């Protein structure tokens, strides 16, 4: 996945979670009495999870970084041989 695709995926996820938050705010004004606590709870804590989830990149790092111009191992690096 390219960095551009990853950024777009995270933006869509963040946008979706913010839509859920707006829905919770709308529901808050519709439900009666103590039921208001449930959408209020989600409306308060969804932004935190949206930022945390939206900030985690998914592109993978290379498994092994090869050092250019590295010297091959010398004879002293072979086990079992003493000079």
Q: Dihedral through CA 28, CA 32, CA 35, CA 40, nearest 10?
A: 20
Give the Cα separation of 24 and 13 in Å (integer).
17
Task: For the chain, give every domain's residue range.
Answer: 9-54
- pLDDT tens readout for residues 9-64: 889 999 999 999 999 999 999 999 999 999 999 999 999 988 888 888 776 665 66
Greatest mean pLDDT range, 3-7, 16-20, 53-57, 74-78: 16-20
Of 65 and 39, more confident: 39
Q: Read off the pTM.
A: 0.63
């Amino acid at each position: 996945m390219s960095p551009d695709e990853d950024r777009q995926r995270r933006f869509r996820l963040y946008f979706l979670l913010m839509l859920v938050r707006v829905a919770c705010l709308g529901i808050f004004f519709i439900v009666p009495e103590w039921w208001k606590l449930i959408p209020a709870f989600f409306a308060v804590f969804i932004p935190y999870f949206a930022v945390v989830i939206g900030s985690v990149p998914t592109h993978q790092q290379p498994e092994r970084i090869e050092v250019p111009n590295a010297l091959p191992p010398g004879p002293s690096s072979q086990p079992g041989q003493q000079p």
